[in-house]
Amino acid sequence: MNVQNYYTGPWLFVTVLLFFSFSLSSQTWILVPDRVFDGEQMHEGWAVLVEGNYIVAAGPRESIPEPADAKSLDLEGCTLLPGLIEGHSHLFLHPYNETSWNDQVLKESHAERVARAVVHAKATLEAGVTTVRDLGTEGAAYADVGLKAAIEKGVVPGPRMIVAGPAIVATGSYGPKGFAPHVQVPLGADVADGTDDLIKVVRRQIGEGVDVVKVYADYRWGPNGEAMPTFTVDELKLIVELASSAGRPVVAHASTPEGMRRAVLAGVQTIEHGDGGTAEIFQLMKEHGVALCPTIAAGYAISIYRGWDEQEPLPERVKQKKESFQLALKEGVTIVAGGDVGVFSHGQNVWELELMAAYGMPPLEVLRSATSVNARVFGIDEKVGRVAKGMLADLLIVTGNPAKDISSLRQVKYVFKNGQIVKATFTR
């Protein structure tokens, strides 16, 4: 238990961070907030009963049974909701204004990167994110598979993880780049081309324990460094077929209309980024049931790193992202919440949700995106993403009402994972 006391003006704030979930025995809780967001709707006057790892009842306060051994937690002024699900994270990266991507891949040892990832996982959980889809170790091989196992065994605290290992890229497309031909440098991803190579790499990744296969359907390798497609439709279809046969979905990094089109036709689960999406492409995504993970905050952060002042007019990169996101909303594309965390600081995951709301998505829809929608798209909706009987008790309790002000998600009061408190903040 880490207790920090500090005095500001006439008030004494005592913040208690509890990271003892791995040694606590199961408990029974009756949680009584002002309101409960169940993953779909906001309910006033609800309570939630947690026994062991699971939610056993959720509904109007008077309908909730009171076991003799239950501990009641009065949460006046608070909202209870499912633990947030981060759709696009890189726990093995840290902000590029601290260390460039190239230097992280080339100069930081795997030991250092794992140590950083452990810290990042803890910060993520503290922020109320109880599940992450981690889409690429960027040169750290399958260290994410090991980190996931360590979290599941209780060795270190962190969110549930859906891991991708190294992404799959076409020869010549990915970095680090800029070295003389005779200098061989490690890449941040797995290189594969053509039928035999792709079969071998996809199957190897599955054997190493990935939960999802990530492919770069386009990248910045055009004549002038612009993004252009990498794999053919047939190559992408082969990746999807191979992964699907082993029960793994495929997600595609794609920012160009053609790269997005090829990935959608191949049958990927989600398009990551989608900056250049057009009405036609978004209609195609909707038709094929492919969701968009917009990663708004990453482009915003990179623009700031490059000197943009937020008081100035939007740079072209940010303006294009805002327009494509609003177009995807208009066309009715399913949008999953994911910020490309790692480009900016872990634990600041709510920034993406704030930008989604600022760019026109109603706060209640943003909450759905970060909980039940992400769970459904990622195929984990039988376990997490909703507050309902039989679901795992991964819960976030915040001060305020995030359906009115999405930034209330930053006012974390409690985080539960598997029915156990992993963070509690008391103010008096």
Is residue 312 classed exposed, middle or buried when 0-12, 13-18 and 19+ CB atoms within 10 A define those classes?
Answer: exposed
The whole-model pTM stands at 0.93
CATH number of the domain where residue 127 is located: 3.20.20.140
Domain count, the chain: 2
Closest CA to 396 of 409, 378, 405: 409
Angle between helices 350-358 and 296-305 (to 10 degrees): 100
Write out the residue range of the structural domain in which residue 260 sits.
84-377
Same domain, 11 and 152: no
What is residue 425's predicted lDDT score, i.e. its pLDDT?
A: 87
Model confidence over 74-130: pLDDT tens digits? 999 999 999 999 999 999 999 999 999 999 999 999 999 999 999 999 999 999 999
Tokens of 120: 């990042």
Same domain, 288 and 415: no
Same domain, 77 and 97: no
Same domain, 56 and 71: yes
Three-class DSSP category at 423: strand
Same domain, 372 and 286: yes
Same domain, 11 and 99: no
Same domain, 138 and 11: no
Same domain, 18 and 146: no
Contact 90, 138 (CB under 8 A): yes
Same domain, 70 and 113: no
Q: How far apart are CA 402 and CA 407, in angstroms?
A: 7
Model confidence over 216-247: pLDDT tens digits? 999 999 999 999 999 999 999 999 999 999 99
CATH number of the domain where residue 29 is located: 2.30.40.10
Contact 38, 17 (CB under 8 A): no
Q: CB count, 10 Å around CB of 307? A: 8
For residue 82, what are the β-bridge partners?
A: 395
Q: How far apart are CA 372 and CA 376, in angstroms?
A: 6
What is residue 218's predicted lDDT score, i.e. its pLDDT?
A: 98
Ramachandran sector of residue 235 (left: φ over 0; alpha: ψ -120 to 50; beta: rest): alpha
Same domain, 78 and 91: no
Same domain, 168 and 204: yes
Q: Which amino acid is at 5?
A: N
Three-class DSSP category at 317: helix
Same domain, 401 and 338: no
